[in-house]
Amino acid sequence: MAKKKKKTPRNKTTNTLLTLVIVLFVILIGVMSVYFYLVKDKPVFDFLGQFLTTKDGAEAIRNKRESGSSPYSLTNNQKYAIDLVDKDNINVLVIGTDQVAGNHDTLMIASIDDANNVVKLINLPRDIYIDYSDKVKSELKKVWPSYSKSKGIYKINACHVIGKRVDYKNGNGRFGNSEYDFVADIMEEVFNIYIDDYVYIKPSSFRKVVDYFDGVQIDVPYLMRYNDPTQNLEINIKKGFQTLSGKDAEGFVRYRQGTDENGKYKSIGDIERKNNQVAFAKAFINQHLNLKNLGKFITIFNELNEYVDSSVDAKKAGEYGKLAEQLYRNKFIIENESVECKDYKLDGVYYLKIEQK
């Protein structure tokens, strides 16, 4: 089956583009590394000396992988139809939550191909149906007898709930956290993607990051007007070239429906929204991923805990720094990949079913 890289997944995330910003954390370290090698600046040297290693970054990360991660089958042999990444890619799972319900409404895998200098962003639709095995259901029923009555419990964005309820691996998995370990093992079993690390994005971080870099200049293709008090979301952005603040940037990447200039209902759908998100990502990279922002990169790195939780500690950040330096020097490219799905209903609940092998 042919891959389609333009199709947009159904995703209502509040932080879609921030995921890209945080994934590019590894690239930001690379920018600082290049600066150090070019100008030998002592403050930069002191900063980088905390993190950079002499060992090849990608190999160091791969060498930390564990084998035989799942204690039992998590699904009924659910396997995606194609392999999305090479087995040697470094894969970082990026997670963003719904501000209201706390679901993992952003699930993106940043897959780094250091051999070909490519960063592939794989968007996983929040409504993907996970066909859990009887063993998982049995363990879940012991601790949560009424779980099956929970609406959408089989959606991929609820994986972490199941992992936490069953105390998956007793909290002794690769990340030392039942929620993240369960989600990571689901990714490996269903999509054949080993998750090396995760980045969990805290709510409202998107606005903070965009404002931190003084906004993003972009050509807004049409009026964007929408209001949803339950999500604290108010979008009112005029058409035309302008600098978007954090608030308006969030509205830009989230906008999918609203009212036009005449007050009539308007919907652009997920495909058009994805195009807007890609345009924003490219604009952010082109305008802010440069050496003149070195000081900001260092500051945001030191304050990273304010924005994210991650399995990447200081030592591992050095390994990603070496990898990022290689990507940056070789002028890496970014690719987008979507998962092929079809509509599916179970007990009146809407899901998306992946294409099976």
Q: Domains in the chain, start-ordered, CATH in brackets?
A: 16-204+278-354 (3.30.420.590), 213-277 (no CATH)
> Contact, 82 vs 193, CB < 8 A?
no
Which segments of 159-204 are extended strands (E)?
Answer: 197-201
The per-residue pLDDT for 176 is: 93
The per-residue pLDDT for 119 is: 85
What is the pTM (predicted TM-score) of this model?
0.74
- Separation CA 32–CA 324 (nearest Å): 10
By residue count, the chain amounts to: 357
Grouping H, G, I as helix, E, B as strand and the rest as coil, residue 99 is coil
The per-residue pLDDT for 128 is: 93
pLDDT tens sequence for the chain (357 residues): 444 433 333 333 333 333 344 444 444 443 333 333 333 344 444 544 544 444 578 898 999 898 767 889 999 999 999 999 999 999 999 887 765 555 666 788 889 999 998 988 887 888 899 999 999 999 999 999 999 889 899 999 999 999 999 999 999 999 999 999 999 999 999 999 999 999 887 767 778 888 988 999 999 999 999 998 777 778 999 999 999 999 999 889 888 889 988 889 998 876 677 678 778 877 887 788 766 776 776 677 666 667 778 888 767 777 877 787 777 778 788 788 888 899 999 999 999 999 998
- Separation CA 252–CA 273 (nearest Å): 9
The per-residue pLDDT for 284 is: 82
Helix (H) or strand (E) holding 7: none
Enter the tokens of residue 200: 């969990």
- Separation CA 311–CA 316 (nearest Å): 9
- Separation CA 123–CA 242 (nearest Å): 28
Q: What's the start-to-end Cα distance of the chain, in Å?
A: 10
